[in-house]
Amino acid sequence: MGTAKATLLVDGEPLASRAARLLAELCDPVLEVGPGYSNLATVDEPEPGRGPLAALVAGSDALSTPSPVLLLACDLPFVTLELLTRLVESPGDGTVVPVDRDGVVQPVCARYSAAARDRARELLAEGERSLRRLLDETEVTRLVDVDSRALVDVDTPEDASRWGIRRPGSLAP
């Protein structure tokens, strides 16, 4: 990417700041798992770079709550408050993951139950990095008919260019 994804700009706002702002409207407390790209309190991953499963575990351990937690990666530039509200307000205390209209699951924008977080710790200890295996091995409610744009993630310079996401101080992605 050439720069930290958290610093990329959508409508002039860094992705990390945007994610923090949206989460703060719904959740308390809100933590950033990472080096501190937002104005949130930060939690360090014991081994940075181990992927979203490790981030879920680090954030969950810092919160130490039996309640479900909402995970949101900062590289989803078009996630909406409406979608996050649907995840938070979904009945029960189980894991809820959004599925777009094409059937694509987005595990880095999801609500995770205490049981799923316990299994995440086990998977991480086994060397797993992906949230997909966690979703395959735990009970999950799928939140269907989610606008595909809300679940777009920016992983490459080409993604950034396609969606008009800019690097700080640049007119080009």
pLDDT at 13 over 90: yes
- For residue 66, tell me if it sits in a domain: yes
pLDDT tens, 20-45? 999 999 999 999 999 999 999 999 88
CB 96 within 8 A of CB 140: yes
Instruction: State the alpha helices, DSSP H only, in 126-164.
Output: 131-137, 157-163
On whether the pTM is more than 0.75, the answer is yes
Please give the C-alpha separations between residue 134 and each of 7, 12, 67, 112, 147, in angstroms, as whole numbers.
28, 35, 18, 10, 23
How many other C-beta atoms can be found within 10 angstroms of the C-beta atom of residue 156? 11
- For residue 96, tell me if it sits in a domain: yes
- For residue 168, tell me if it sits in a domain: no
- For residue 102, tell me if it sits in a domain: yes
Which CATH number does the domain housing residue 32 bear?
3.90.550.10
Residue 8 one-letter amino acid: L
Average pLDDT, the chain: 92
Structural domain boundaries, residue 23? 5-163
pLDDT tens, 111-169? 999 999 999 999 999 999 989 999 999 999 999 989 999 999 999 999 999 999 988 87
- For residue 39, tell me if it sits in a domain: yes
Give the pLDDT score at 69: 96
- For residue 91, tell me if it sits in a domain: yes
Give the pLDDT score at 65: 85
What's the domain count of the chain? 1
Token readout for 25 is 């409207």
Residue 167 one-letter amino acid: R
- For residue 173, tell me if it sits in a domain: no
- For residue 11, tell me if it sits in a domain: yes
Q: Alpha-carbon distance 164 to 158, whole Å?
A: 10
Token match 């490790």: residue? 54
